[in-house]
Amino acid sequence: MNIAGIKFKNNLFLAPMVDVTNSAYRRICKRQGAGVVFSEMIHVEELVNGFNKKNKKLLSKLKFDKEEKPIGIQITARTLKSLELAVPILKKLGFDFVDLNCGCPSLRAIDNGSGSYLLKTPEKIGRMVEILKKAGLIVSVKIRLGYKKNEVLKIAKIIEDAGADFITVHARLANQAYNVSADWNEIKKVKQKLKIPVIGNGDVLTPEDAKAFFKETNADGVMIARAAIGDPTIFSRTLKYLKTGKEQKFDFEKNINSFLEYLEFEEKNDGELKRVKRFGSKFIKNIEGSAKLRDEFMRLKNFNEIKKFVRGLIKFI
């Protein structure tokens, strides 16, 4: 898969997720076959202020390993001016492309006037794309179908006309939660209208879902979010299923081994133990007594205890 001169290994995208897709997790997803990864979402005001002050938390978000490439930095912005101030920094960070988030539905983003709030002003999104493109950056944009009403075709066309290199469409409105099914037919409509590559997102939870998604939408790629939390093997299983059509069962041992790799990366990079435990509990599933095991896991006190505990999980298969 080639977009704007960037060669992607395949068209399976790991969605950028706050407090999930740090460098350690991106690396194990890459090793399991994810073709494209992103930084966690960063507000451009945080980027400018934190970068100039060498803020440790921000610099951690900006860190990536060469095996993660190609990699995008996902940003969001409230104003054109704040975005312009971020451009010189974006140009020097070494990411392969910039992904403009106009789809995050969190109250924090909306109250700030960024994320999915930008869907209210599609022309502003277009201006943001123009600013990034004028700076010579490769640009993608992640959107939803609209803020409270479906305007996805209008918004997507403005983004394309502004010069974006590709677009990702999450097939829900900004005010819709997971209890509302993603409308893949809207992704199909965007794909039919646009000339730039279209990536789809929403309700792809299994390899079988991915195959059905491609068949229904004809999209250029699929972005996987929830299904990848605690299961990086979703990528290797999906790739194999798309190639062979044969059922790919969840492999608990393979997934636990990926978690051990994750622990190694986190320990080497002084990862926060609280985050590692909160996230690691997501790996303990699909085995008998998983609830009790998660409780035990959350009481562990250091990396050595965690590694010993995780290695012992294989006996539960």
Q: Are residues 114 and 233 in the same domain?
A: yes
| pLDDT at 286 > cutoff 90 | no
Q: Are strands 221-224 and 198-201 parallel, antiparallel or unpaired?
A: parallel
Give the DSSP H or E segment for 38: strand 37-38
Residue 279: its pLDDT value, please?
A: 84
Do 147 and 292 lie in one domain? The reply is no
**What are the catalytic residues?**
104
- Digit-coded pLDDT (tens) for 44-96: 999 999 998 999 999 999 999 999 999 999 999 999 999 999 999 999 999 99
Q: What's the count of helices (H) and strands (E) in the chain, helices before strands?
A: 14, 11
239 and 256 in one domain?
A: no
Q: Which range marks the domain in which residue 23 is found?
A: 2-244
CB-CB contact of 31 with 261 (8 Å): yes
Quick one: 257 and 193 in the same domain? no
What was the pLDDT predicted at 26? 97
Label residue 271 by pLDDT band (50, 70, 90). Answer: confident
What are 131-189's pLDDT values in tens digits?
999 999 999 999 999 999 999 999 999 999 999 999 999 999 999 999 999 999 999 99
CA dihedral 138, 142, 145, 146 (to 10 degrees): -90
Residues 165, 269, single domain; the answer is no
Other beta carbons within 10 Å of 57? 9
| Same-domain check for residues 160 and 308 | no
Q: What's the CA gap between 315 and 313, in Å, rounded?
A: 5
pLDDT band at 285 (very low <50, low <70, confident <90, very high): confident
Q: Which of 220, 244, 268 is the last residue of a domain?
A: 244
Q: Peptide bond before 207: cis, by omega within 30 degrees of 0?
A: no
Residue that terminates a domain, selected from 244, 264, 291? 244
Residue where a domain stops, chosen among 244, 273, 305: 244
Task: Please check whether residues 123 and 271 belong to one and the same domain.
Answer: no
| pLDDT score at 313 | 87
Residue 302 has a CB neighbour count (10 Å cut-off) of 9
- What Å distances lie between residue 309 and 28, 148, 293, 301, CA to CA? 19, 46, 9, 11
Whole-number pLDDT of residue 84? 98
Same domain, yes or no: 144 and 287: no
Backbone angles phi, psi at 12, to 5 degrees: -100, 120
Distance (Å) of CA 255 to CA 105, 234, 261: 30, 9, 10
DSSP codes, 102-152: E----HHHHHHT-GGGGGG-HHHHHHHHHHHHHTT--EEEEEES-SSS--H
- Do residues 276 and 306 both lie within one domain? yes
Q: What is the CATH number of the domain that holds 183?
A: 3.20.20.70
User: What percent of the chain shows pLDDT beyond 90?
Assistant: 89
Cα angle value 17/129/183 (rounded, 5°): 50
Taking residues 104-111, report their average pLDDT. Answer: 92
Whether 33 and 62 map to the same domain: the answer is: yes
Question: Per-residue pLDDT for 200 more than 90?
Answer: yes
Residue 270, pLDDT score: 80
Q: Are 157 and 120 in contact (CB under 8 A)?
A: no
Banded model confidence at residue 317, pLDDT cuts 50, 70, 90: low
> Looking at residue 316, what is its pLDDT?
64
Instruction: Specify the amino acid at residue 298.
Output: M
| Count of structural domains, the chain | 2
**Is there a single domain that holds both residue 123 and residue 238?**
yes
DSSP per residue over 225-264, as a string? Answer: -GGGTT-THHHHHHHHHHHH-------HHHHHHHHHHHHH
Which comes out higher in pLDDT, residue 281 or 236? 236
| In a shared domain, residues 24 and 123 | yes
Among 70, 47, 72, which residue's Cα sits nearest to residue 60?
Answer: 47
